[in-house]
A and B are shown apart, each in its own frame.
Chain A
Amino acid sequence: MSEGRLRKLIMGDAQADRVVPPSGFTAQLTLFVSGAMAFLAVFALALSLASGRLATRWADELARAATLRINAPAEQRNAQTQAALTILQQTPGVASARALSDEEQAALLAPWFGSSLPIDSLPVPQLIEVIEDDPGYDGTGLRLRLQAEVPGAVLDDHTRWRAPLVDAARALRRLGAVSILLIAGATAAMITLAANAALAANAQVIEVLRLVGALDSYIAHAFIRRFTLRALGGAAAGMALGMLGVWLMPAASNEGGFLTGLGFQGWAWALPLVIPPLGALVAFAATTRAAKKRLGDLT
């Protein structure tokens, strides 16, 4: 689009704007659709960003961590723990290893058993947190050595349950992105319908305009500008409401998990501001196409 046309679209022409009669039904439809779609787009964006954060966090935090579980009778537990720690300190590729305190283990169990759990009286295995170095340790070799020297030790490098969770989070992020694309497509379809309805309802106006020498580009521009501005206004309102809804959600917390972390963080709060111009762009493209086709069909 030339600079002149863009300026005309933004600045408008008060005289030209009056030529097309305001049509209530299509105006309301465009406003509602763009508003509702922008509202949904804000949530889809929030979902996509939160899923992305979750996938990254899980991938980063869990990739280099493992847990060693000591399942041993109470009288042997300390000895086996010390033996395991010694082995881990001697193993190349292990950055650090430490046994979790009783308080830390109680905290891990608290969500299921409550905070007043008498952990001493339960046959709870001792957990050792293992942080991997770069390059990492030889998992198979470590398992064989532990099997020989600390019979009650079980090494869990989280691979079994981490990978599907990260995959799920990434899939959720992709789903959010696809939702945004679908929302844009649905907006385009609805605005095309509204523009077609407006063009059909104004067939006589178009006839009069052509009779007095209006160029098709002039007629199309009058409709395009109107629909683009309506979509921009509707999308801005929908975005504002969507952002308010996200802002009103509970703040991210460990207890709430993923759901409470659904909002935007930091600079990401600026991202929804892109939605209204994008909505206007979609409306512009949809109305341009509809007007071109309709005016081409009208003889």
Chain B
Amino acid sequence: MPIRNHGPLKLPGHWGKTAERKQGTVVIELENVGYNYGGGELLSDVSVKLAPGSFHFLTGPSGAGKTTLLKLCYGALTPTSGRARAFNMDVQGLDRDQMAHLRRRVGVVHQDCRFLDHLPVIENIALPLIVAGKDLSQEEANLRELLNWVGLSERADALPPELSGGERQRAALARSVILSPDVIIADEPTGNVDWEMSQRLLQLLVELNRMGKTILLATHDMSLIRAAKKQVQARVLRISAKQLHQAGADL
């Protein structure tokens, strides 16, 4: 699909607001985390700390456990050993309501972005606001601004099945930032889109990071990582042999 020039990326200030940045604090931390699946060990003794406003890439071969690690970060999975912490809370100890509140602070973009197919794009993007009980009539202008930011203004009333892969990814990204979360976790967001679209999505994520958001992005696209490292200070983490390693500068 041809990509129109949307002009310089500028995230509306409303969506860019983030929690007060405290130097030295950690938004998400995995400490000696292990995870077993199907009788086998998928991750072993994984430790990582995500500082506020940091940008992390997570790489590794398919099936290495990238998605699992991301899910451990936002509480969709519980570690079988070790400790997962988010915003100074033990993720394992959270009840369902606390977990829901955690999800409002962590925007998630899946590779196979899931939407409510019976609702138009604009309502899907507004879903976090709806479930948080916000009055949409007061948010309409901001919503339109956000749609414009991700270049979906003209697709606002389309249903998700009518969107292309790139449009779905952008819609998912818009949905993930609408509550102005502190952290954005994206799982292969460029996996189903062409190079041009992947660059555009990267630009959106870089812009969010510049606004102070912590970004954790799983990808196996090295060119994307190289492009990002030219713009932001990004740390690259690689999963191999069940463990997490900091990748070298040769990336």
Contacts and interface: CB of A to CB of B under 8 A. Distances in A.
Interface stretch (A12-20, A158-166, A282-290): A12-20
Nearest to B131: A214
Interface stretch (B27-35, B54-62, B101-109, B140-148): B101-109
Given A216-B96, A216-B97, A210 B103 contact: yes
Contacts of A210: 100, 103
A22 B116 CA distance: 12
Contacts of B101: 213
A218 B123 CA distance: 17
Q: Majority SS of interface residues in chain A? A: helix
B222 interface: no
A211 to B, nearest CB: 6
Interface string A249-288: 0000000000000000000000000000000000000000
B179 interface: yes
B136 A214 contact: no
B97 A215 contact: yes
Contacts of B118: 21-22
A205 B118 CA distance: 10
B206 to A, nearest CB: 23
Given A15-B136, A208-B127, A213 B116 contact: no
A83 B96 CA distance: 90
Q: How many interface residues does chain A have, given as a range?
A: 20 to 34
Interface residues of B, number: 22
A208 B116 contact: yes
B19 interface: no
Nearest to A18: B119
B15 to A, nearest CB: 15
A211 B108 CA distance: 7
B94 interface: no
B188 to A, nearest CB: 16
Contacts, number: 55
A19 B114 contact: no
A213 B130 contact: no
B128 interface: yes
Given A18-B119, A21-B118, A215 B96 contact: yes
B128 A15 contact: no
B128 A18 contact: no
B149 interface: no
A15 B140 CA distance: 13
Contacts of A208: 114-116, 127
B232 to A, nearest CB: 26
A209 interface: yes
Nearest to B134: A15
A218 B134 CA distance: 13
B85 to A, nearest CB: 19
B213 interface: no
Contact of B100 (A22, A204, A216): A216
28 contacts: A15-B136, A16-B130, A16-B131, A18-B119, A18-B123, A19-B116, A19-B130, A205-B116, A207-B114, A208-B114, A208-B127, A209-B131, A210-B100, A210-B103, A211-B103, A212-B127, A212-B131, A212-B175, A213-B128, A214-B100, A214-B131, A215-B96, A215-B97, A215-B100, A215-B131, A216-B96, A216-B100, A295-B96
Interface of B: 96-97, 100-101, 103-104, 108, 114-119, 123, 127-128, 130-132, 136, 175, 179
Interface of A: 15-16, 18-19, 21-22, 204-205, 207-218, 295
Given A208-B116, A212-B103, A213-B132, 14 more contacts: A15-B130, A21-B116, A205-B116, A207-B114, A208-B114, A210-B103, A211-B103, A213-B100, A213-B103, A213-B104, A213-B128, A213-B131, A213-B179, A295-B96
